Structure 1
Amino acid sequence: MFNGALKREAIATLKSIQGEYESEAIAIGQASEQLFELRQTSSQKIFTQVEGYINSLANSPKSFDKTFDEYRTSYSTFNEVICAIEADAELVNAQLGGGATAGVLAGAGVATLAPTAAMAVATTFGTAGTGTAISALYGAAATNAALAWIGGGTLAAGGGGMAAGNAFLALAGPAGWAIAGTTMLTAGLYARGKNKKIAEQATSEAKRIQSLISEIVAAKAKTFSLIDLTKRHIDGVKTLLRNLRKHAPINYLDFSTDQKDILAALINHVYSLSILLNKRIEL
């Protein structure tokens, strides 16, 4: 058959690139969930410990109150996104169960996205296809925008849209992200098209996915960088707080110069965490 080898080679290349994209999608999903868990730790546990320690001191500086107020504001913003997505995620998944999207998902054999996974994506990444910050969206809108990006952009922009995002980021496993399968975007054409036409479309699709791989790899690197920075500040808080609890007096007026410096460094870590809590990876 004319151009049969050309078709087979093009399809094999496309499948290979799809596999690479799936691996990167899993990795960035795991990274975003890791960052989300770190942020929850810093907002729910670390901050409470520091504030409790400061409140236990006699004559603690009032200047620290500003830092705590800023952290509370940051946490409120972070928590609003979490609560909204948690409340709406089931609705989104129910909507994904009908219409054309259901057909795509059924063909791919994928599960719907769980609230935790949706929250991880929406609180990690920056802008949706509309140019609006994903972090500024809430609930279903944030979930849809995040999934559309993972799927290669909105349908209007020529990307795979939300359905493709779900196909690449189906829920499974302890990390919350895994691939249950993908749908070849030109599967119908493979069954009935001419070899040369199929080869051309497969090659074109492979190039598109390859460009998306570059974007997702860059975003993954930024996510890991943000994870590392957040970890350093969390570790800094733990180390300094442990030092002060063990060695510092209960009255701030009795602190040595070194102990005051340690306490100031502790507060600086808290301030940095308040900024990092809602920092997004711009796409």
Structure 2
Amino acid sequence: MSKQSNLDKSTDRLKALISIVNKLINELGVRDEILYNTLSIIQSQIDKIRNVPSDTLLTYQRIKEERLSWKKQVDKIYDDYESAKKANVGYAASGTGLGVGVAFLGPSAAMGIATTFGVASTGTAISALSGAAATNAALAWLGGGALAAGGGGMAAGNALLALAGPVGWTIAGLSLLGSGIFFLKSLNEKKKLENIFLLISLRDEKKYQMAIVELNERLSRIADETKKLQEAIINISSFGYDYNSMTEDQQYALGSYVNLMNSATQLLVNPILGLQPNYTDSDLSDFISWNVLGRSLINKSDKYKSLIVYLVNLFWAIQVDDSDMKLFINSLKKNKDFLTEMGLSKDELDEKLIKYIQEAIRRKKNQKKN
């Protein structure tokens, strides 16, 4: 039995962490659903109360709109998944490639995904996918990356780039990109490339460890806020339907319940920060409008631009020099599976791509400092 390399060990740890994160996202969806339903009940109670002060009413309406907007996005995620499943009925029904215990995407799981990755970013990501890619995306989230890690075709290709690295896809990406190691003839080059992937994997270990802490904190806060809201529902039922007829204590309590609704709604709509990409399509758009180098990307294909976004995220906070990055890009040029999945030619992966990546990272880091 061959000895495991440091990269193999880190990859195994990463798989385990991603599996935990995905289970927590699923649990988050269950808690989200309870919280959403509880908020809907208290909303229906307050809707019936007359003569509520305008400032309180404005706050309440904003909270209501924010929550309903989030729910629309949840429904879109679920509907997109259902459409993708129907388009791939044979694949989805047979469960081909799925790990043990992989669940299909239900409404509560869609809630967990919407909260984790943020309403706007999730909507963009999911809607950018179609067919098998969308099915694989949802199943990867729920199955701890089992499907994507097993190969996954599109899950390891265009969809991976479109999503810029959500949970469950890290392993798929490294698996596909890492296969480029086998195309290198020099043992020294293979070791250098393996070290790059080790640095990426170790960084992501820390990322998912922090995400687990953040997800557990969110779950705890949701449980606490839900309990408070349930108590508020009982209390409001005795207040009557006219604000002017309420006692001063009841009026004060009603105001505090609106504030409670606000904080609870933020637990639904605010994403898990530790799982957000460091670099997004918006960052690339900013880079394109920034200087001459950026503007030279205007006529590049969307796939090429997506590749830049993905590679910036891949190399984020990784200490590599020019020769390391050149070696990495050369390994991709020799990787026919990768090029096919990306719909790119090897000629597009030139030294200018390295410059784009380096300058994009430098630009974003400088913006973070300011």
- TM-score, structure 2 as length reference: 0.51
- Number of aligned pairs? 248
Equivalent pair of 1:21/1:213 in contact (CA under 8 Å): yes
- Given the superposition, is the C-alpha separation of residues 164 and 78 from structure 1 closer, same or farther in structure 2, using an over 3 Å criterion? closer
Residue in structure 2 matching 1:51, options 2, 24, 43: 43
Query: 1:223 Cα deviation (Å)?
Result: 2.7
Structure 2 residue 220 is the aligned partner of structure 1 residue 233: no
Match for residue 28 of structure 2?
Answer: 35
Which amino acid counterpart does residue 260 of structure 2 have in structure 1?
H
Residue matched to 1:80: 72
Could you tell me how far 1:49 is from its partner in structure 2?
2.0
Deviation, 1:257, is 2.9
* Alignment RMSD (CA, Å): 4.8
Give the deviation of 1:263 after TM superposition.
Answer: 1.9
Instruction: Write the distance in 2 (CA, Å) between the matches of 1:231 and 1:110.
Output: 30
Q: Residue 228 of structure 1 aligns to which amino acid in structure 2?
A: S
1:34 is matched by which residue type in structure 2?
Answer: E
Partner of 2:259: 268
One-letter code of the match for 1:278?
Answer: V
After superposition, give the CA deviation of every residue in 1:122-159 in whole Å (9 maximum; x if it has no partner). 431259xxxxx52351644279799599889x969xxx
Q: Deviations over 1:96-139 (max 9, x none)?
A: 899xxxxxx97x76588843446533431259xxxxx5235164
How far has the Cα of 1:77 moved from its partner? 1.7
How much identity, in percent, do the aligned residues show?
Answer: 16
Amino acid in structure 2 at the alignment position of 1:37: V
Which stretch has the larger CA shift, 15-24 or 249-258? 249-258
Question: Aligned partners of 2:185 and 2:85: how far apart in 1?
Answer: 34
Offset at residue 75 of structure 1 (A): 2.5
Matched, 1:71 2:43: no
Match of 1:16 among 2, 9, 28: 9
State the secondary structure of the residue aligned to 1:115: coil
CA contact (8 A) 1:110 1:167 kept: no
In the alignment, which residue of structure 1 is the partner of 2:113? 121
SS in 2 for 1:137: helix
Residues 32 and 121, structure 1, Cα contact 8 Å, conserved in 2? yes
Call closer, same or farther: CA 1:73–1:251 in 2, change over 3 Å: closer
CA distance in 2, matches of 1:110, 1:235: 35
Aligned counterparts of 2:62 and 2:163: Cα–Cα separation in 1: 38
Partner of 1:219: 211
1:196, distance to aligned residue in structure 2 (A): 6.8
User: In terms of mean alpha carbon deviation, does 138-147 or 113-122 score higher?
Assistant: 138-147
* Structure 1 CA distance for aligned equivalents of residues 198 and 99 of structure 2: 22
Point out where structure 1 has 5 or more consecutive residues left out of the alignment: 99-104, 128-132, 170-178
Contact kept, 8 Å, 2:26 with 2:112, in 1: the verdict is yes
Contact 1:126–1:280 (CA under 8 A) maintained in structure 2: yes
Higher mean alpha-carbon deviation, 29-38 vs 141-150, is at: 141-150
Aligned pair in 2 of structure 1 residues 262, 163: CA closer, same or farther (>3 Å)? Answer: closer
Match of 2:152 in 1: none
Specify every segment of 5 or more residues in structure 2 that has no aligned partner in the other structure, as ranges.
Answer: 150-155, 277-370
Which residue identity lines up with residue 115 of structure 1 in the other structure?
L
- Could you tell me how far apart the structure 1 residues matched to 2:99 and 2:157 are? 19
Structure 2: distance between partners of 1:73 and 1:142:
27
Partner Cα distance (1:163, 1:139) in 2 = 8
Could you say if the C-alpha distance between residues 235 and 60 of structure 1 is closer, same or farther in structure 2, counting changes exceeding 3 Å?
farther
**Alignment CA distance shift 1:109-1:274 (3 Å):** closer
Distance 2:79 2:52 in 1: 40
Q: From the superposition, tell whether residues 89 and 137 of structure 1 become closer, same or farther in structure 2 (CA, over 3 Å).
A: same
Q: Equivalents in 2 of 1:74, 1:66: separation in Å?
A: 12
Are the counterparts in 1 of residues 129 and 162 from structure 2 also a CA contact under 8 Å? no
Instruction: Compute the displacement of 1:269 (Å).
Output: 0.7
Who is 1:280 aligned against? 271
Q: Distance in 2 between matches of 1:78 and 1:50?
A: 17
**Contact 2:76–2:123 (8 Å) recurs in 1:** no
